[in-house]
Amino acid sequence: MLAKKTVARPPAKQRTPAFRLPFTTVDVVIFTVLEEALCVLLVRRPNADSEPYPGKWALPGGFVNVDIDTTLETCAARKLAEKTGVASPYLEQLGSWGSVDRDPRGWSATHVYFALIPAKHIRITKGANATEVAWFDVNEVVEAADLAFDHSTILATAVDRLRSKVEYTSLPAFLIPEPFSLPQLQRVYEIVLGRSLDKSGFRTRMLTADFLEEDSYLEGLSNRPAMGYRLKDRSAPVVFPRTFGR
């Protein structure tokens, strides 16, 4: 089947295989922190009766386009940029979901990524196709569990993964614009985790992990000015040797 013996460049044209293929999609769970809440970006499904889940909210995503997408990750980055305009977010693969019945149109498998972006960097593009796009409080969306397809399950998994990694990594630093103060960063940790943390221990952990560099003082946004910080390396989070207590 499908003769091709060299291990070189892919063929410009792909022969139709002898067996049926699942659909391949990519979805992106885009998180940010907005008004003291962890938020996720959702898009409304078109209202046409020919589409599955018309009018329902869903994670942004869609079919892989074999003509323009070269990898799954660039496909995810493309879909993210289309909705938010953000070019280089923190982007990590979450996993994949595939089954015969997750899409009424037939066997489908989706590759899911999750992205962390600072709220200030976003311009929500109610694009040419007039698709509705909006931010939602994560807790409420997970509670309602009313998204299209299996997206409620996927979102719940993404939130679990985010929360567990926040226990021992610097991931929340990707959720706020730079420069930020340590109290601001701590607030983001607390919003994501849903519990308060000790100030003193938080500071020593962040500073000894040596992933922040001092910027200028941040004045005016609270009573006393706070030291502003930036990430030394925006490409990956730092891993701490322990989790937070309690």
Partner DNA sequence: CTTGTTAAATTGCACAGTACAACTAAAATT
Partner DNA sequence: AATTTTAGTTGTACTGTGCAATTTAACAAG
Would you tell me which residues interact with DNA (CB under 7 A)? 181-184, 197-205, 208, 219-220, 222-227, 240-242, 244-246
**Residue 198 interacts with which of DNA, a copy of itself, none, CB < 5 to 8 Å by class:** DNA
* CB burial of residue 2 (10 Å; 0-12, 13-18, 19+): exposed
Report in angstroms how near the CB of residue 10 gets to a copy of itself at its nearest: 5
**Residue 123 interacts with which of DNA, a copy of itself, none, CB < 5 to 8 Å by class:** none
Q: What is the gyration radius of the CA atoms in the chain, in angstroms?
A: 21
Judged by CB under 8 A, which of 139, 204, 222, 243 binds a copy of itself? 243
SS3 225: coil
Q: Rounded to an integer, what distance in angstroms lies between the CA atom of residue 89 and that of residue 55?
A: 28
Judged by CB under 8 A, which of 30, 64, 154, 176 binds a copy of itself? 64
Q: Rounded to an integer, what distance in angstroms lies between the CA atom of residue 185 and that of residue 190?
A: 9
55 lies in the binding site for a copy of itself (CB under 8 A): no
Q: Total residues at the site for a copy of itself (CB under 8 A)?
A: 53
Which of positions 187-216 make contact with a copy of itself (CB under 8 A)?
none
Distance of alpha carbon 63 from the chain centroid: 18
Dihedral class, residue 131 (left if φ above 0, else alpha if ψ from -120 to 50, else beta): beta
Q: Are 113 and 29 a contacting pair, CB within 8 Å?
A: yes
Give the footprint of a copy of itself on this chain (CB under 8 A). 1-11, 14-15, 17, 19-24, 49-54, 63-67, 69-72, 93, 95-101, 103-107, 109, 111, 241-243
